[in-house]
């Protein structure tokens, strides 16, 4: 576990979390740090887009339904701006249409809330390998 | 130049010639009959020249209608060098003078170098017709026979000319008469033409009026609008053709207030008499709607717009238009009914939408709980365990658990707040509506739905919308349970029946995956679900609705594949 943590932390310093739900913003970074990732949380897509952490972000864990810009909107916006950050979507709504759309737009993984820690880790591995 | 002979034989000859000449003179009037004066004068002069041995003969006519040739002179060809007609005329005019009293003249006179005997003979007693002058160089002119012939010729000419004059006068009178007749005829023709034009104009006006009346009638027929006038003082009422049709009254009989009253809907009689009382008092405008009840029971909606006019003599008259707006009104009512149904359907489907939003609300804290718990576990498995971190995440887990519980509390509050309506509900009707509502969704899932609705189902008392939410939920659950079924038909059977305790029973039987018999009790608990994307809300809410109706909701496994969900409600529910 130790060498894995070092490896991840060294090569990919930042996993960003964008979710309007506070309990996710509190719990998910702890778990990510347990995994060994550096992490930072944002409460909205707009906040992430204007942040200087954007360029350091190696992977984005992104909520779908948010007030203002949605997860899918942010995914399109990043693509338009030329940022090819791998994205793992998380959603409380079991909407297959949205899930399909996210994959069409290049999502690495799409997890329905609540998801297990192993499912998340697997998704992160896929995302970072893609990178 | 002839010399008078003393010889008797010559004398006889002369007299015979004279007689011959007289006879031919007497035939002249027969020749002249119908001739013009100038023609008469010509033949007279020719005859005189031929009969008498003259050097010239002259006739002057006065006061004639045909005044073209008032002076005529005739000279034999042999004498033309000696007596020029123009000079002769001038000379004789002077010789005759203007005195009409000079009836008869005879003298020798000098005409240029010649000495001539002149004889004049009046035509008419005082030359009123004219005068004849005959001239000869002979000194013995006129001899007795010549004078006789001349006088006879003059008389004959007088008669001829008078006849001609008379004829001419007659002709003139006839002409004048003709002319005045022609003029009168022309005037009559002109007057006739004016009259004809006036008639044509009137006919055109009448046709235009008829056409305009036809247009009006057609417009009234098409727009289902009739017009009326009502004289307040005499209660005389005039209806247009279309208004007769609207009221279905005999168009040949005059309209009476009684007839109108017999057509007006009993509930609107008081409205009408109120409006009529107002109309009797003032010239105000009126705009109101009234219903008719026709003899066959049909109800017509009439829109009335009228206004009063005060005539110069003080009489009051009301004039107005009445439109049959029945179709419009019925369409409005149908629309309103449709809108109510639509609202109703929206309420029926609310549970589905609510379930989705509840899913979102609950999944958020649930996600936090799972993540925190995972983190907590990981922290505790470290060597040494991160107890402080684990404690913090455990605290968060508890907090998220409470948040989830809050969501449930809010949900319960939401349902208990819903006003329950107690009404008589025909469960069959309610079921048919839900089937209609969900048919396309079921077809989309390739589900075959059969329904067996009992005829003897008792009415129940309750909230139709809530019961329909339950039915819809059961249908959707049944359909969802067959989503993964590919080896048998996806059959869904919805049944209603009267059970042994006279309760209304409804069951939905599917051919789906069924459920674990061990967890039958859990099925109706909140958040228990066998579906991949289910929330476990629907059945829980459904059970509370049914229990609220003093009923029971339960599930059984089929002998074959699938399950059956049923509820029964007593027909006398004390909701």
pLDDT tens across B234-268, in order?
989 999 988 999 999 988 888 888 889 899 998 88
According to the model, what pLDDT value does residue B485 have? 87
Residues of chain B with pLDDT > 70, as a percent, come to 88
Interhelix angle B8-32/B144-222, rounded to 10 degrees, is 10
> How far is it, in rounded angstroms, from Cα A92 to Cα B361?
8
Structure tokens, B500: 């042994």
Say yes or no to pLDDT of B306 above 70.
yes
A-chain residues near B365 (CB < 8 A)? 23
Among the CATH numbers 3.40.50.300, 3.30.230.10, 1.10.620.20, 3.30.450.20, which is that of B225-324? 3.30.450.20
A28 contact residues in B (CB cutoff 8 A):
371
**What integer pLDDT is reported at residue B565 of this predicted model?**
95
Pick the CATH number of B8-162 from 3.40.50.2300, 3.40.50.1100, 3.30.450.40, 3.90.1150.50: 3.30.450.40
Count how many pairs of residues, chain A against chain B, have C-beta atoms within 8 Å.
Answer: 74
Contact status of B532 with chain A (Cβ, < 8 Å) = yes
**Cβ pair B396:A31 closer than 8 A:** no
Instruction: Find the mean pLDDT for residues A46-60.
Output: 91
Which residue has 């045909």 as its token pair? B66
pLDDT at B573: 44
Q: How many angstroms separate the CA atoms of B89 and B61, rounded?
A: 13
Q: Where are the domains of chain B?
A: 8-162, 225-324, 338-570
Q: What pLDDT sits at residue A88? A: 96
- Mark yes or no for CB contact B367/A23 under 8 Å: yes
Q: Hey, are the CB atoms on B370 and A116 less than 8 Å from each other?
A: yes
- Dihedral in degrees, nearest 10, Cα atoms B410, B413, B419, B420: 110
pLDDT at B346 over 50: yes
| Nearest-by-Cβ selection for B359 from A21, A30, A93 | A93
Antiparallel, parallel or unpaired: β B56-61 and A109-112: unpaired
> 0.90 exceeded by the pTM?
no
pLDDT tens, residue by residue, B200-214: 999 999 999 888 888
**Given an 8 Å threshold on Cβ–Cβ distance, is B378 in contact with A31?**
yes
pLDDT in tens, B493-536: 999 999 988 899 999 999 998 888 887 777 776 656 666 555 56
> Would the pLDDT of B349 be above 70?
no
pLDDT of B572 > 80? The answer is: no
Residue B103 has, within 13 A of its CA and on its CB side, a CA count of 5
Give the largest CA-CA distance in chain B.
212
* CA pair distance B567, B575, nearest whole angstrom: 16
B-chain CB neighbours of A88 within 8 Å are none
Q: How far is A130 from chain B (nearest CA, A)?
A: 24
Q: Where are the beta strands (DSSP E) in B176-298?
A: 225-231, 236-239, 286-293
At residue B66, the pLDDT reads 52
Across the interface, whether the CB atoms of A24 and B356 are under 8 A apart is answered: no
Query: At residue B120, does pLDDT exceed 80?
Result: yes
Question: What is the C-alpha to C-alpha distance for residues B315 and A33, in angstroms, rounded to an integer?
Answer: 101
Interface residues of chain A, partner chain B, Cβ below 8 Å: 21, 23-24, 26-28, 30-31, 34, 65, 90, 92-94, 112-117
Instruction: Please list every residue in chain A whose beta carbon sits closer than 8 Å to the beta carbon of residue B363.
Output: 92-93, 112-114
Report the residue of chain A nearest B375, measured CA to CA: A31
Task: Flag if B370 and A112 touch (Cβ within 8 Å).
Answer: no
> What's chain B's average pLDDT?
83
Please report the pLDDT score of residue A75 as a whole number: 94
- Of A32-46, B78-92, B202-216, the poorest mean pLDDT is in B78-92
DSSP string, B49-84: HHHS--SEEEEEE-S-SS-S-SEEEE--GGGTTT--
Q: How confident is the model at residue B343 (pLDDT cuts 50, 70, 90)?
A: low
Interface mutation target, options A62, A114, A123, chain B, most CBs of B under 10 Å: A114
Query: ipTM of this predicted complex?
Result: 0.81
Q: What are phi and psi of B572, to 5 degrees?
A: -110, 85
Q: Is the pLDDT assigned to residue A18 strictly greater than 90?
A: yes
Q: Which of A23, A29, A96 to substitute to test the interface with B, most B CBs within 10 Å?
A: A23
Say yes or no for a CB contact (<8 Å) between B364 and A21: yes
* Residues B367, A94: C-beta atoms closer than 8 Å: no
Instruction: Please determine, for residue B5, whether its predicted confidence score (pLDDT) is greater than 60.
Output: no
pLDDT at residue B103, rounded to an integer: 65
Residues B321 and B226: beta-carbon distance below 8 Å = yes
pLDDT at site A4: 44
Q: Write the pLDDT tens digit of every residue in B454-469.
A: 998 999 988 888 888 8
Substitution target in B352, B356, B358, B364 with the highest count of A β-carbons within 10 Å is B364
Decide which of A61 and B13 is more confident: A61
Cβ-based contacts of A26 with chain B (< 8 Å): 368, 396
Residue B563 confidence class, pLDDT cut points 50, 70, 90: very high
Contact A115 B367 (CB under 8 A): yes
Task: State yes or no: pLDDT of B477 exceeds 50.
Answer: yes
The residue written with tokens 């002109």 in the block is B190
Summarize pLDDT for B56-65 with one digit per residue, the tens: 888 888 765 5
Distances (CA, A) of A130 to A18, A84, B68: 20, 10, 141
Predicted local confidence at residue B339, as pLDDT: 67
Listed in order, strand segments (DSSP E) in B142-258 are 225-231, 236-239
For B130, phi then psi, to 5°, come to 165, -160
Q: Cβ neighbours of residue B206 under 8 Å, at least 6 residues apart?
A: none
Distance of residue A47 Cα from the nearest chain B Cα, in angstroms = 21
Residue B575 scores a pLDDT above 50: no
Is the pLDDT at A72 greater than 90? The verdict is yes
Specify the CATH class of B338-570 in words: alpha beta
8 Å CB contact of B400 and A113: no
Task: Determine the distance in angstroms separating the CA of A112 from the nearest CA of chain B, rounded to an integer.
Answer: 9
> For residue A121, which residues of chain B lie inside 8 Å, CB to CB?
none
- Confidence band for B363, pLDDT divided at 50, 70 and 90: confident
Checking if the pLDDT of A9 tops 80, the result is no
Q: Which chain A residues are Cβ-neighbours of B393 within 8 angstroms? A: 27, 30
pLDDT tens for residues B136-182? 888 888 888 888 888 888 888 888 888 877 777 788 888 888 888 88
């Amino acid at each position: 576990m130790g060498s894995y943590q070092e490896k991840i932390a060294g090569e990919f310093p930042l996993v960003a979390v964008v979710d309007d739900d506070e309990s996710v913003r509190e719990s998910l970074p702890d778990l990510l740090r347990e995994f060994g990732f550096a992490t930072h949380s944002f409460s909205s897509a707009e906040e992430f887009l204007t942040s200087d952490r954007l360029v350091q972000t190696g992977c984005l864990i992104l909520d779908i339904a948010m007030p203002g810009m949605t997860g899918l909107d942010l995914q399109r916006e990043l693509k338009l701006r030329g940022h090819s950050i791998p994205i793992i979507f998380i959603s409380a709504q079991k909407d297959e249409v949205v899930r399909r759309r996210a994959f069409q737009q290049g999502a690495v993984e799409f997890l329905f809330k609540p998801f297990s820690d192993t499912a998340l880790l697997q998704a992160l591995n896929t995302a970072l390998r893609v990178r | 130049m002839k010399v008078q002979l003393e010889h008797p034989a010559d004398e006889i000859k002369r007299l015979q010639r004279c007689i011959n000449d007289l006879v031919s003179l007497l035939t002249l009037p027969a020749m002249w009959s119908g001739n013009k004066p100038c023609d008469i004068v010509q033949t007279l002069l020719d005859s005189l020249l031929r009969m008498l041995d003259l050097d010239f003969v002259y006739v002057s006519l006065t006061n004639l209608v045909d005044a073209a040739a008032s002076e005529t002179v005739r000279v034999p060809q042999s004498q033309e060098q000696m007596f020029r007609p123009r000079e002769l005329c001038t000379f004789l005019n002077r010789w005759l003078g203007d005195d009409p009293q000079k009836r008869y003249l005879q003298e020798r006179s000098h005409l240029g170098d010649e000495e001539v005997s002149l004889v004049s003979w009046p035509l008419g007693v005082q030359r009123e017709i004219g005068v004849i002058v005959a001239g000869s160089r002979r000194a013995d002119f006129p001899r007795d026979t010549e004078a006789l012939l001349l006088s006879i010729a003059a008389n004959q000419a007088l008669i001829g000319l008078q006849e001609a004059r008379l004829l001419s006068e007659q002709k003139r009178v006839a002409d004048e008469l003709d002319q005045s007749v022609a003029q009168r005829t022309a005037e009559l023709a002109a007057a006739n033409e004016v009259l004809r034009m006036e008639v044509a104009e009137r006919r055109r006006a009448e046709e235009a009026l008829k056409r305009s009346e036809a247009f009006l009638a057609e417009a009234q027929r098409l727009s289902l609008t009739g017009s009326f006038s009502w004289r307040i003082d005499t209660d005389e009422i005039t209806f247009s053709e279309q208004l007769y049709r609207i009221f279905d009254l005999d168009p040949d009989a005059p309209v009476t207030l009684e007839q109108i009253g017999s057509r007006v809907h009993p509930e609107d009689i008081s409205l009408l008499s109120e409006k009529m009382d107002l109309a009797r008092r003032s010239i105000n405008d009126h705009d109101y709607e009234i219903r008719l009840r026709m003899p066959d029971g049909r109800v017509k909606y009439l829109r009335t717009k009228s206004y009063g006019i005060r005539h110069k003599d003080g009489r009051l008259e009301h004039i107005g238009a009445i439109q049959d707006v029945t179709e419009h009104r019925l369409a409005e009512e149908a629309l309103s009914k449709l809108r109510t149904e639509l609202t109703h359907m929206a309420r029926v489907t609310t549970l589905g939408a609510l379930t989705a939003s509840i899913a979102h609300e609950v999944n958020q804290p649930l996600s936090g709980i799972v993540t925190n718990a995972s983190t907590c576990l990981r922290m505790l498995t470290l060597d040494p365990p991160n107890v402080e971190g684990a404690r913090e995440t455990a605290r968060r887990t508890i907090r998220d658990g409470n948040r989830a519980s809050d969501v449930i509390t809010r949900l319960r509050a939401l349902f208990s707040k819903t006003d329950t309506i107690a009404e008589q509900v025909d469960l069959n009707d309610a079921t048919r509506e839900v089937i209609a509502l969900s048919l396309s969704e079921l077809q989309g899932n390739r589900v075959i739905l059969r329904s067996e609705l009992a005829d003897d189902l008792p009415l129940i008392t309750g909230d139709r919308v809530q019961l329909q939410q339950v039915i819809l939920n059961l249908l959707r659950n049944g359909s969802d349970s067959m989503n993964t079924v590919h080896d048998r038909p996806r059959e869904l059977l919805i049944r209603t029946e009267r059970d042994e305790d006279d309760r209304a029973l409804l069951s939905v039987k599917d051919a789906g995956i069924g459920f674990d018999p061990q967890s039958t009790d859990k099925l109706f608990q909140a958040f228990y679900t066998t579906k991949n994307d289910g929330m476990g809300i629907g059945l829980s809410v459904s059970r509370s609705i049914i229990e609220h109706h003093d009923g029971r909701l339960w599930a059984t496994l089929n002998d074959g594949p699938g399950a059956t969900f049923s509820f029964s409600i007593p027909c006398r529910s004390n909701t």
